[in-house]
Amino acid sequence: MPRPSSRISGIVPSGKDGWEVHTAAWARREAGEDIIMLSVGDHDFDTPSQTIEACVAAVRGSNHHYTPLQGLPRLRNAMAVASSACTGVETTPDQVIATPGGQAALYAAVQAVLDQGDHAVVVAPYYATYPNTFSAAGATFTVVETPAEGGFQPRADMIRAALRPNTRAILINTPNNPTGAVYSKEHLEELAKLCREHDLWLLSDEVYWTLGGGEHISPRSLPGMAERTLVINSMSKSHGMTGWRMGWLTGPAEMISLLINLNLVTTYGLPAFISIACAEALENRYGVREIAERYAARRTIFIEAVRSMNDVVIRGSEGGMYVMLDVSAIEPDDEKFAWAFLDNEKVGVMPGSSFGEAAAGHIRISLCQPEPVLQEAALRLRRFVSAYRREAA
Going by pLDDT thresholds of 50, 70 and 90, the confidence category of residue 392 is low
State what percent of residues in the chain have pLDDT above 90: 90
What pLDDT shows up at residue 213?
Answer: 77
Q: pLDDT tens, 87-103?
A: 999 999 999 999 999 99
Domains of the chain: 6-46+288-383 (3.90.1150.10), 62-284 (3.40.640.10)
Q: Which of 306, 343, 299, 345 is nearest to 320 (CA)?
A: 299
State the average pLDDT over residues 332-344. 96
> pTM (2 decimals)?
0.94
Q: pLDDT tens, 220-235?
A: 999 999 999 999 999 9
Q: Starting from the edge strand earliest in sequence, which strands make up the sheet with 140-145, in order?
A: 96-99, 247-250, 229-234, 201-205, 167-173, 119-124, 140-145
Cα–Cα dist 206/209, whole Å: 5
Q: pLDDT tens, 69-127?
A: 999 999 999 999 999 999 999 999 999 999 999 999 999 999 999 999 999 999 999 99
- Whether the CB-CB separation of 153 and 184 falls below 8 Å is answered with yes
Q: pLDDT tens, 14-36?
A: 656 678 999 999 999 999 999 99
What pLDDT shows up at residue 19?
Answer: 84
